[in-house]
């Protein structure tokens, strides 16, 4: 009797050096693919796509068929969590998301976990279907936004440049903001555990706006809630690895890795490779970090950058990825070239 070898992606997350490294790309299901645009055109709105198991399953699978990624990531959006808590989210064509902003205890009190799971039932159904549909060697990643990043959208009511309203609340009324973060830790934990129960084999926490906070506020609103969330996942669903992506954290990546308990950290484009190899990779698996615009550029500039990442990080526990999501103007053939190059590396 022999054990089938575990999936390469999960072995890397367990701390193994896998050669060539497993690879996937943030936003690998997306607008750069014509077959995605076709499915998207048949939806009323963006959230409609997230809440349609047929369509969400299909778009998740599309890039796997083309490129043979080592992992599939559930197609969804980080804002389904506030949406399911009762803060209705709207995506208008050509604009970012809009939400009725939450800036005091009264607005916060209207949110509720009642009906949360049933609102998200279509997402869980998508996870179930994906879990059966993906190839045997491919891992399935579930995900959520980290509490801080989701809170910025909830307080600003949209995307933001300065995060003035969120920071005013966090700095000036920390009790109210803490209550919002606590609710998100609870809701996000429930959400991720149910994803795991439907077949997600690893979790990624997207903290896209982690980089805008000063050190002590980063401790309070990025590290502490992530640590609580990871602790609960590890306690209630042991063995499921967690990847954190605190984008723009800079030198704060080190305390993030040391304190949150994540199994892996996803590196944004700006993280220096040798620093990551020396400071982070001895502690956790690292993932990243090709500039998505090098994937638009393609050619030898892209090849050189891929090789540099592979040679600096590929001799330890590593997953190849971008430093940020794929951009819509990316030529699909450049993704094919990247996939070939990573797969051929020894």
Alpha-helical runs (H) found in 157-298: 164-172, 174-197, 215-218, 224-236, 253-260, 273-275, 292-297
DSSP H/E element including 67: helix 53-67
Please select the residue that binds a second copy; options are 182, 215, 236, 258, rule is CB under 8 A.
215
**247 catalytic residue (yes or no):** no
Marked catalytic residue, from 11, 32, 67, 77: 77
Between residues 20 and 174, which has the closer beta carbon with respect to a second copy?
174
**337 catalytic residue (yes or no):** no
Per DSSP, the chain holds a count of helices (H) and strands (E) of 18, 9
Please select the residue that binds a second copy; options are 7, 129, 167, 198, rule is CB under 8 A.
167
β-strand partners of 90: 98
Cα separation, 40 vs 46, whole angstroms: 8
Q: Which listed range, 58-66, 87-95, 134-142, 296-304, lies at the site for a second copy (CB under 8 A)?
A: 296-304
**40 catalytic residue (yes or no):** yes
If one asks whether residue 25 binds a second copy (CB under 8 A), the answer comes out as: no
Residue in the structure block whose two tokens are 């050190």: 215
Cα separation, 320 vs 342, whole angstroms: 8
If one asks whether residue 299 binds a second copy (CB under 8 A), the answer comes out as: yes
Whether cis (ω within 30° of 0) applies to the bond prior to 20 is: yes
The CA distances from residue 218 to 25, 43, 84, in Å, are 26, 38, 26
Cα separation, 140 vs 143, whole angstroms: 10
Kindly state the smallest distance separating residue 305's Cβ from a second copy, in Å: 7
Which pairing describes strands 97-98 and 90-91: parallel, antiparallel, or unpaired? antiparallel
Please select the residue that binds a second copy; options are 20, 259, 327, 341, rule is CB under 8 A.
327
- Contact between 292 and 324 under an 8 Å Cβ cutoff? The reply is yes
If one asks whether residue 95 binds a second copy (CB under 8 A), the answer comes out as: no
Q: Which listed range, 5-13, 19-27, 166-174, 180-188, lies at the site for a second copy (CB under 8 A)?
A: 166-174
DSSP three-state, residue 341: helix
Positions 225 through 284 that interact with a second copy (CB under 8 A):
248-253, 255, 269-273, 275
Q: Which listed range, 12-20, 64-72, 110-118, 167-175, lies at the site for a second copy (CB under 8 A)?
A: 167-175
Marked catalytic residue, from 32, 153, 191, 256: 153
Q: Tokens for 77?
A: 């959006």
Between residues 158 and 329, which has the closer beta carbon with respect to a second copy?
329
**65 catalytic residue (yes or no):** no
33: Cα separation from own chain's centroid = 20
**27 catalytic residue (yes or no):** yes
If one asks whether residue 171 binds a second copy (CB under 8 A), the answer comes out as: yes
Binding site for a second copy (CB under 8 A): 162-164, 167-168, 171-172, 174, 211-218, 248-253, 255, 269-273, 275, 289-294, 296-297, 299, 301-302, 305, 308, 323, 327, 329
Q: Which residues are catalytic?
A: 27, 31, 40, 77, 153
């Amino acid at each position: 009797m022999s054990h089938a070898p575990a999936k390469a992606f999960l072995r890397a997350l367990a701390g193994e050096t896998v050669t060539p490294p497993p690879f996937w790309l943030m936003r690998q299901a997306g607008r750069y693919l014509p077959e995605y645009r076709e499915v998207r055109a048949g939806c009323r709105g963006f959230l409609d796509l997230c809440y349609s198991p047929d369509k969400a399953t299909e778009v998740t699978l599309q890039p796997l068929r083309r490129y043979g990624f080592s992992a599939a990531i559930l197609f969804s959006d980080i804002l389904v969590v506030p949406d399911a808590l009762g803060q209705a989210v709207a995506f208008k064509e050509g604009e970012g998301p809009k939400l009725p902003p939450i800036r005091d205890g009264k607005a916060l009190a209207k949110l509720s976990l009642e009906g949360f799971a049933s609102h998200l039932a279509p997402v869980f159904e998508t996870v179930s279907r994906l879990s059966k549909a993906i190839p045997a060697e491919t891992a399935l990643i579930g995900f959520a936004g980290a509490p801080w990043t989701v809170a910025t959208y909830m307080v600003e009511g949209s995307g933001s440049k300065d995060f003035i309203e969120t920071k005013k609340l966090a700095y000036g009324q920390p009790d109210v903001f803490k209550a919002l973060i606590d609710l998100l830790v609870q809701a996000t934990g429930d959400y991720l555990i149910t994803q795991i129960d439907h077949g997600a084999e690893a979790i990624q926490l997207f903290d896209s706006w982690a980089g805008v906070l000063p050190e002590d506020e980063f401790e309070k609103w990025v590290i502490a809630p992530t640590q609580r969330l990871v602790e609960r996942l590890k306690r209630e669903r042991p063995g499921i690895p967690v990847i954190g992506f605190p984008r723009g954290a800079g030198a704060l990546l080190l305390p993030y890795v040391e304190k949150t308990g994540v199994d892996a950290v996803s590196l944004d484009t700006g993280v220096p490779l040798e620093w990551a190899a020396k400071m982070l990779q001895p502690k956790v698996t690292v993932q990243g970090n090709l500039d998505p615009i090098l994937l638009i550029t393609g050619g030898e500039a892209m090849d050189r950058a891929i090789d540099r990442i592979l040679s600096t990080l590929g001799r330890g526990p590593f997953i190849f990825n971008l430093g940020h999501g794929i951009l819509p103007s990316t030529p699909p053939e450049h993704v094919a070239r990247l996939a070939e190059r990573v797969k051929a590396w020894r």
